Structure 1
Amino acid sequence: MGPPLRLPLCGLILSLPLTAAAWCEAPRKLERVATDDFRAGLARWRLEAEDTRAIVTAENGVLDIATPAGLSLWWREPLGGDYAIRFTAAALPAPASAGPHAGRISDLNMFWNALETDGGEPYPRSGKFAGYDGLPTYYVGFGANANTTTRLRLYDGSQRRLLAGFADASIAEPGELPMTPATRLLTNKPISVEIVSRQPTAADPIHLRWSADSNEVFTRADANPRLHGYFALRTTASRLQIRDFQILQCR
């Protein structure tokens, strides 16, 4: 357990302990720089929903997303430096408005380090998945395609590149591993998600870590990594509940 952290939150200074992380080497320490406890609406998020029947609420400590079609929810503040995003997520049966997809468990997805090709903030889109094809970003689809795939992709502005993935045999792409219990969603089972983005070093060239329940599902050590930009929760024909959203920086 690390030393107490003085955290500014809603005008108050709180003293909180913060656990050290292996990727944040001493003498630097993790600092919690932003949170959303989902008790005050969606002021810190920008919604893009393909279908007007989508219902998104943030109250009583829960971000509740129920959508019949594509939906992205963008955190309004850009992220950079050595940082981590942490939150807890649970997948529930998709709403009746999802039609043939009603009741399915699917698509705990996200974009991060997203910037337009000119380096600007992602411009508003309709929420349809294909509309993001030209947006340079990293993307993870966890339990996507009706809970049959978990994939890490890099969007480079012209194509979506599969970097690593897991898939059921019938739809697996070359090089993908079989799905496992650690890469599949379970109904209403909370998952602790952590995304780490950091400057690679000679001692630790890994710049990207994506973990579920402390299991590192994806890691990358690329020559030209994306290290800053915007984050969005992404889903389609699903229902998700998100809690305890926080952003930490290694300083």
Structure 2
Amino acid sequence: MSRRTKREVVLSVVFAWVVCVSIMGQDEYVEINDTLTAKASLTYLDSFQLGLENWKVEQTPEGTVQLNEGKLEITDVSGCTIWLTKKLEGPLMITYDAFVIDEGGPQDRVSDLNCFWMAQDMEHPDDLFVNSEKRGGKFSNYDNLRLYYMGVGGHDNSKTRFRRYTGDGNRPLLPEHDLTKEKFLIKPNKETKIKIVAYNGIIQYYRDGERIIDFYDPNPYTSGHFGFRTVNNHMTIENFKIFSLESEKIAK
């Protein structure tokens, strides 16, 4: 690496750190429903400039996960989950920008813009990563986790599904969470803004500002890990943020 290149890397790292520090703690307000809004305070930001030390990659052979110009780039063959190692506590909101690539590459299959959140291994509730190597990115190996799952554009971009995994192998699918209309599927080569809300039993998933899932869980999962999930896909992730939520009633 040349001296100039090293200097550019150092400057980019310093800039990312300054930006992160400058916006941490800033608040915004998020409308959850017609009668409830929440104060959202930024608690975690990853601009994917400082390495992957906060992430744990579980991936089947031949796939890759790397950083590329401030983006997390996933090129996968047979299955991949990328976990944030920080355990999350709700109520919270997660946002990030995704871009599914369709440019004729060998893994440029438009499918599976997926994620897990509030994930917990019930055999090892204090350490999700005990069985990390055993799972290895194979999708069926995640069935026994307790979590929420959103699968956007699965089955070759023909289905979008939300599931609540119960932690004992059951993954019930409610009819209203089995979506096949084109508006719920992936639009490739386009930035997609994703927002997830987990607030006192209210579980929501938004895409480009449109609420796709609005589920009330009477026994909500209030803590656990977040993970990007895909298979046989090529995509990038950027601008990953986590906010804590505090209720604010809307005056009517």
TM-score in terms of structure 2 length: 0.80
Deviation at residue 108 of structure 1 after TM alignment: 0.5
**Equivalent of 2:119, from 114, 131, 151?**
114
In angstroms, what is the RMSD of aligned CA positions?
2.2
Q: 1:137: Cα distance to partner? A: 0.8
SS where residue 14 of structure 1 aligns? helix
Match of 1:104 in 2: 109
Q: Is this contact kept in 2: 1:86–1:247, CA < 8 A?
A: yes
Per-residue deviation at 1:180? 2.5
In 2: Cα distance, 1:46 partner to 1:15 partner: 25
Counterpart Cα distance in 2 of 1:236 and 1:66: 9
1:228 to 219, 223, 230: 223
1:187 Cα deviation (Å)?
Answer: 1.6
* Mapped contact 1:86–1:246 kept (Cα < 8 A): yes
Contact 1:20-1:30 within 8 A present in 2 as well: yes
Map 1:231-242 → 2, pairs under 5 A: 231-242=226-237
Residue 45, structure 1, aligned to residue 55, structure 2: yes
Q: Does 1:126 align with 2:128?
A: no
Moved more, 155-164 or 187-196: 155-164
For 1:247 and 1:132, the matched residues in 2 are separated by 23
Counterpart contact for 2:28–2:39, Cα < 8 Å: no
Q: Is the 8 A contact 2:28 2:41 kept in 1?
A: no
Q: 1: CA distance between counterparts of 2:71 and 2:171? A: 32
Specify the SS of the correspondent of 2:127. Answer: coil
Q: Match for 2:116: what amino acid?
A: F
Aligned partners of 2:74, 2:180: CA distance in 1, in Å?
A: 28
Deviation track 1:188-235 (CA, whole Å, cap 9, x = no partner) reads: 1111000111114xxxxxx10100011110011122111211000000
TM-score (norm 1): 0.80
Q: Which of 75, 86, 99 is 1:77 aligned to?
A: 86
Give me the whole-angstrom Cα distance separating, in 1, the residues matched to 2:127 and 2:114.
20
| Counterpart among 180, 183, 197 of residue 182 in structure 2 | 180
Distance 1:58 1:21, change over 3 A: same
Q: What is the percent sequence identity of the aligned residues?
A: 28
**Shift of the alpha carbon at 1:95?**
4.4
* Equivalent residue number for residue 136 of structure 1: 146
Aligned residues of 1:106 and 1:143 also touching (Cα < 8 A): yes
Give the residue type in structure 1 aligned to 2:127: E
Matches within 5 A, 1:82-101: 82-93=91-102, 95-96=105-106
List alignment gaps of at least 5 residues for structure 2: 1-15, 247-252
Query: How many positions carry a matched residue from both structures?
Result: 220
Please, which runs of 5 or more residues in structure 1 have no aligned partner? 1-8, 97-101, 167-175, 201-206
Aligned counterparts of 2:212 and 2:46: Cα–Cα separation in 1? 25
**Residues 13 and 130 of structure 1: CA distance in aligned 2, closer, same or farther (over 3 Å):** closer
Larger helix proportion of the pair: 2
Partner of 2:174: 163
Contact conserved, 2:59 with 2:138, CA < 8 A, in 1?
yes
The equivalent residue for 2:213 is: 218
TM-aligned CA deviation for residue 21 of structure 1:
0.3
| Residue aligned with 2:140, SS | helix
